[in-house]
Amino acid sequence: MLKRILLPVDGSEPCLRAMSFAAELAAELKASILLLHVLDNLPARRQLKDYLTALEKNPALHEAEIESVRSALSESGEDQGMEILADAEQFLRKKGVSEVSTAIRDGDPSTELLRAAETGKYDMIIMGRRGLGGLKGLFMGSVSQKISSLANCAVVTVK
């Protein structure tokens, strides 16, 4: 029985179509959905996060610097990712999905989606189909292609 759905979200049009499909399916089957947004794991983001962790060990001495680093992190896509997740959660709840959770991760989208699917023991991944286009797509393949071929659970790609 289908009880756990992993739904990667990026705010794109294909993602919105996948969300609609997932909402209908989850509401009908009373399945839970994890909304996952993956930020590219840029070295600068990683360094900023490590620096922030070090500063937060003594916040009284580094208050201004902590705010500066938090601002830089928010500009690197984290705030936008959180907004995408909040909008997606609101959409699913309005469509009748009662059990929705969210997560944001840093890393390669394919790797992080596969890791989440495996560790969370999801029954299905529902995602939008979107090609990379050009030579990059020919050599690297799309995230949806990688997930479809490597996931240990059912994968539905929505056009």
For the chain, domain boundaries: 4-41+81-158
pTM, two decimal places: 0.78
pLDDT reported for residue 75: 62
- pLDDT confidence of residue 68: 83
Cα–Cα distance between 143 and 57 in angstroms, integer? 37
Alpha-carbon span 47 to 38, nearest angstrom: 17
Nearest 5°: the CA angle 43, 37, 110 is 70
Multiple choice CATH, 4-41+81-158, 3.90.920.10, 3.40.50.450, 3.40.1280.10, 3.40.50.620: 3.40.50.620
At 132 the pLDDT is 34
Q: What local confidence, expressed as pLDDT, does residue 42 receive? A: 62
Please state, as a whole number, how many other Cβ atoms lie within 10 Å of the Cβ of residue 61: 10
pLDDT at 159: 86
Whole-number CA gyration radius for the chain: 17
| Segments of the chain scoring below 50 in pLDDT | 131-140
